[in-house]
Amino acid sequence: MFKTHLSSPSSLVLTGLLLCGLAPCHAQSQAPSTAPTPLASIASVNGKAIDAKHFEQIIKNNVANGLQDTEQLRTAVKDELIARQVMLQEVSKLGLDKTADALSGLNYVKENFLIDYLLKNFEQKHPITEEMIKAEYERQLALIGEPSEAMQYLTRLIVTPNEQDAKSVIAELKKGADFSLLAKSHSVDPTKNNGGELGWVLPGQVLPALGTVMVNLKEGTFSQLPIQTQQGWYVLKVEEKRPFKIPSLEESKAVVTQTLQQLQRQNYIQELMKSAKISR
């Protein structure tokens, strides 16, 4: 409901060779499969074993994301892991993993993962409580006062660490790419897990740079240029518009939680910055 950029990798570990077509699995009435006796590996490619523990973790993550643990899911995951291993071996065979571009790209991915891991570790040690959510909701409610002719916007966003990544996302959107899928694969914000959906917000409840763009977007359109903020570079989409109505605490809980998490992250980063010796 309230002031935010309103911030992990997606719970789906695999990112798309075969699992992208598994949406129907969730609707199937097939009973969950009985867990097999644990094995050291589930398959091998040219003598390279595919770890069973890794396989089971992927199944677990997919189930947590709403899919059913069926034989169809297990077969698809196994097939994708085999396909990935085949391609990784080809990468090694061709020496592509030793090129300057590959090493630079791998280092960038590693840094992003470790930063996200650090922030998630902090959030686990400082969870957002129900009391904190209620207090923030009431604080923001007092600031809003009586609603007038204000409009609310149902928005989605993609947050990238740099301008070039945001431009690449916009280029894909202009070609017809799905915004929610790009959010899941490119955004560094927690909303990525919901396809970038921020929910219904007022322009004054988000960062000023986002609010300015929001009011000028038509329903179903996205920002044509990256939006720069201290939290990163944003691509914003307005799904719908409606006259403002004050949501209940329950309706606001997800957005308020995201707001508090974002504030916690910002404060944590600022504390780390203050304790570091930085020369510019």
pLDDT one-digit tens code per residue, 55-76: 999 999 888 888 899 999 999 9
Average pLDDT in the 38-63 region?
88
pLDDT beyond 50 at 35? no
Q: For the chain, what is the HEC assignment?
A: CCCECCCCCCCCCCCCCCHHHCHHHHHCCCCCCCCCCCCCEEEEECCEEEEHHHHHHHHHHHHHCCCCCCHHHHHHHHHHHHHHHHHHHHHHHHCHHHCHHHHHHHHHHHHHHHHHHHHHHHHHHCCCCHHHHHHHHHHHHHHHCCCCCCEEEEEEEEEECCHHHHHHHHHHHHCCCCHHHHHHHHCCCHHHHHCCEEEEECHHHECHHHHHHHCCCCCCEECCCCEEECCEEEEEEEEEEEECCCCCHHHHHHHHHHHHHHHHHHHHHHHHHHHCCCCC
pLDDT one-digit tens code per residue, 216-254: 999 999 999 999 988 789 999 999 999 887 778 898 888
Average pLDDT in the 192-217 region?
88
Domains belonging to the chain, first-starting first, are: 148-244 (3.10.50.40)
User: CB–CB of 62/12 below 8 Å?
Assistant: yes
- Residue 254 exposed, middle or buried by CB count within 10 Å (0-12, 13-18, 19+): middle
171 band by pLDDT with thresholds 50, 70 and 90: very high
Tally of residues, the chain: 280
pLDDT beyond 70 at 15? no
Percent of the chain whose pLDDT exceeds 90? 53
The predicted pLDDT at position 12 comes to: 32
Average pLDDT in the 105-128 region?
92
- Tell if the pTM clears 0.85, that is, is over it: no
